[in-house]
Structure 1
Amino acid sequence: MRIFGAILDLVRSIAWMTVGGLRLLLSNLSRPFRTSRYISTTAATRSIRTMGGLSDFLGQTKTDFLRDLQSKNVERWTVVMGNEAGDLDTIACSVAYSYLSSKYHNQPTIALIQTPRTDLYLRPENLYAFSLANLTSQQQELLCIDDIPSSAPPLSQIITKFALVDHNRLLDQFRGGPGKVVGIIDHHADEKQHLDAEIREIVNPVGSCASRVARHFKSVWDASVPPELATFLLSAIYIDTGGLKPDDKAVEIDEQSAAFLTPNSTFNPDNQSLTGDVPPPPPIGNLADELSDRKKDVSHFTTRDLLRRDYKEFVFGGLRTGLSTVPVGLEDCLKRDGAAGFWKALDGYMDDKGLAVLGFLATFKTQGKPKHKHKREILLLLKESAVSADIEKRLFEGMEADPQLQLEPKLETEVADGRHAKVWNQKNTDVSRKYTAPLIRRLIEGGDAPAGEQQPEADE
């Protein structure tokens, strides 16, 4: 089932990119041909100012890293990663950390994007930001997790230095080997891991992790940094803070970082000539709306696409648990696929991922009256053969009793065919997956877990 699911996802990805990617392809046709001025990562440690634009740097760094990986000669490399949800903040921070650490710390650093290349299309807002950052239309310069050759040794066995942005705990698939976390820049709850990291900056609340990355490198940032890198970080800050609105999570550091980045970005007319003949970006005042409109455009996605789009996986008490944050309501999904198709999609996704528990965490705004009211819904689906009756009872009852979530049964949504599932309206719309995941862990394991945060997630 896993193989079939992967093939199905690949076919859908190719179909989407053929049509949906055309706009981005056309927007890049005016890109002039450029020879890379970035000679090699080894040369960069001797003469870092020879680096060209952001796209050139990423492409050459990817080539160098994959060559060294195949020859098992990666001791000099630091691999920087964001979280597996793959939102704009996590990718922009990874790319920025890679470039700036290579440039200013003389440390060859590669950004590893944990989203498979076949899934990049699931976040149209990211594709738009990639175009603003002057990346190629197919983003071939990015190193995605599925770009790692199957013939290469597992990264957990060969990489000695990791850096983390937009999360602060190294994922299990990268543990168990010689790897040490040497840097962390994050804005989530501190999981108290990797306490000996050389760089350990975990500050919350902050609207966007990109603000923290910009703050970290501000003192050494100079005019040789490509303006499109500042644009990339600004895009993450603007989408995460609703255009720097205080009621959309913006705090002082977000405002300060945006004020620093803006004159160094392509939004500054003085810098636009440095990016060749690429069309100028939209007015910065429209940036948040441009990104948000693309993020909301999920009408062409299937239920399976929506589950994959913003997905995080955990193991709680030996039970593999997947939590998908979905930007549409359950009724919308049921109308798209029909009840039978919707439940079949959930079953298939659980089988492909080997899940015992699947959480469908809907966060959306209503279109009727009252207009644009924020709503949340939770669906929990359990695999009967994997989850004991005691855990099922503790999980469902504990969710309903939790004072933060304020759940009420969503009676109008019928659970089909005797599945072990519950569906709720979530009255407290300020509580997100950051809180729900530790709660589910505590209920499954029957003990205490680190308290979750009660602020909305940046990728929502």
Structure 2
Amino acid sequence: MSLRSYLVNLKQALSSRTFKTPYRIVTGNQSADMDSVVSAITFAYLTYSLKTPNEYIIPLIDIPREDFALRRDINKLLSYHNITEDLLYFVEDFDKFLDKSTSIDLSLVDHNGLQGVEINKGFDGGQVNVEAIIDHHADEGHFENANPRIIRTCGSNSTLVFHYFHDLAAGQEEFWESNKDVIELSLGPLLIDTSNMTQKVEDPDIKAFEFYKKVLASDTVNFTAQSNYNDFYKTLKTAKKDISGFSFADILRKDYKQFKFLHDDRVGFSSISKPLSWIANKFSIQDIKDDLSRTLKANQIELLVITASFTQKDTGIYTREFCYYYEGQNEKYAELYQLVWQQLELSTDLYRSEAISSLTNGVNDSGSHLKIYNQKKVTATRKQVVPIVKEVLEK
């Protein structure tokens, strides 16, 4: 059975009255990037094929269905395998599954703590049991009894998913030869997350990549991988960066996560690949202000952190910006930049500072507060920024 056939059969099985309960679901993190989506889909398929034969796991994408169109790189990758949106499951499906199943056995990939209002609500109500974790983020210390519970750093989480099932099915090399679609799908996030095997590459990534090349050396499903790895990466990277036609709110939603911290601080984190000066020149001040406010309300958060990363076109310098927005009066948020100043090596030496000043002057008033800084510690991605912000807010 191909991976696509699995998804087709899963949809048919769910429509029948004989689907086994409790439902088993696997979900990636709330940013729903390529790594999370592919990790969830391959985990579901490989569990069915190699671990618990004929027992379906539902891969859930932890965003609203309408947001999936913003993930143009993922849609491009899935299109190579004729996997369409109607074969996938999203946040709004979770409550429906819970209603039908009354309880859910949940596996987490590409994160190790629950994310999303719906899933957390189900867990708080005693209806969700976390049964497995495969993740490459920092260990949050939850769900110690999960099995497997694999948490270690790695360039791509899809690599850890592959190695788990490859080890589980040791000696069954013919399985991978007959399931090249799984390998090709896993190759996408590996290349994207490691910038074509040039950054954040660890030993599991290297071993997975060598295995992928061996399997794909002949008779590949959709492309001649041996000669087209670079083109494949460039195609997916171009699709990922394509934000033509997006509103500012769309850009904020494209790569978004949110967390609830110790003192009930509900914080959203948006990663964007454009400088804030570009945002200031692309959209009107009023549109930016309205979209920032809508983002707070739509996600029921008090604080929005925006992490921007880009290469300056005129100098070629790789740059990061740390930005945040909140409304009303909150002394802790007002001082947040001071609390993270040293750890993130913040400065006011901003790229195209005139545009930034116009933006903040236009947005800021007694009820709206937008702060933007240059982040000199360019190695600190959102993975590092989230725990830093968490630590200072929880003191």
TM interval, short-chain normalised: 0.7 to 0.9
Number of residue pairs the alignment of both structures matches: 371
Partner of 1:130: 78
1:376 and 2:376 are equivalent in the alignment: no
Deviation at 1:169, TM superposition (A): 1.3
Deviation at 1:355, TM superposition (A): 2.0
Aligned partner of residue 267 in structure 2, secondary structure: strand
1:430 and 2:379 are equivalent in the alignment: yes
Distance in 2 (CA, whole Å) between partners of 1:101 and 1:89 is 18
1:63 aligned to which of 5, 8, 12:
12
Partner of 1:166: 110
Deviation at 1:315, TM superposition (A): 1.6
Matches within 5 A, 1:161-240: 161-171=105-115, 172-176=120-124, 177-204=126-153, 206-219=154-167, 220=169, 221-224=172-175, 225-240=178-193
Matches within 5 A, 1:29-428: 52-65=1-14, 67=16, 74-75=21-22, 77-106=23-52, 107-132=55-80, 134-136=81-83, 138-148=84-94, 153=98, 158-171=102-115, 172-176=120-124, 177-204=126-153, 206-219=154-167, 220=169, 221-224=172-175, 225-245=178-198, 248-264=199-215, 267-272=216-221, 283-316=228-261, 317-368=263-314, 370-371=315-316, 373-384=317-328, 388-389=330-331, 391-400=332-341, 403-409=342-348, 410=350, 412=354, 413-414=356-357, 415=360, 416-418=363-365, 419-428=368-377
Deviation at 1:63, TM superposition (A): 3.2
- Residues 98 and 104 of structure 2 are in contact (CA less than 8 Å); yes or no, is this contact kept in structure 1? no
Q: Residues 169 and 67 from structure 1, CA distance in 2 versus in 1: closer, same or farther, beyond 3 angstroms?
A: farther
Deviation at 1:119, TM superposition (A): 1.4
Distance in 2 (CA, whole Å) between partners of 1:127 and 1:427 is 33
- Residues 211 and 254 of structure 1 are in contact (CA less than 8 Å); yes or no, is this contact kept in structure 2? yes
Aligned partner of residue 344 in structure 2, secondary structure: coil
**AA paired with 2:387?**
P
Q: Residues 174 and 367 from structure 1, CA distance in 2 versus in 1: closer, same or farther, beyond 3 angstroms?
A: farther
Q: Residues 152 and 79 from structure 1, CA distance in 2 versus in 1: closer, same or farther, beyond 3 angstroms?
A: closer
Give 5+ residue unaligned stretches, structure 2.
Answer: none
Give 5+ residue unaligned stretches, structure 1.
Answer: 1-51, 273-277, 448-460
Deviation at 1:333, TM superposition (A): 0.9
**AA paired with 1:395?**
L
Deviation at 1:226, TM superposition (A): 2.4
TM-score by length of 2: 0.87
Distance in 2 (CA, whole Å) between partners of 1:252 and 1:207 is 9
> Residue deviations 1:362-384, cap 9 Å, x none?
1111212x22x211112211121
TM-score by length of 1: 0.75
Q: CA RMSD in A?
A: 2.3
Aligned partner of residue 307 in structure 1, secondary structure: helix
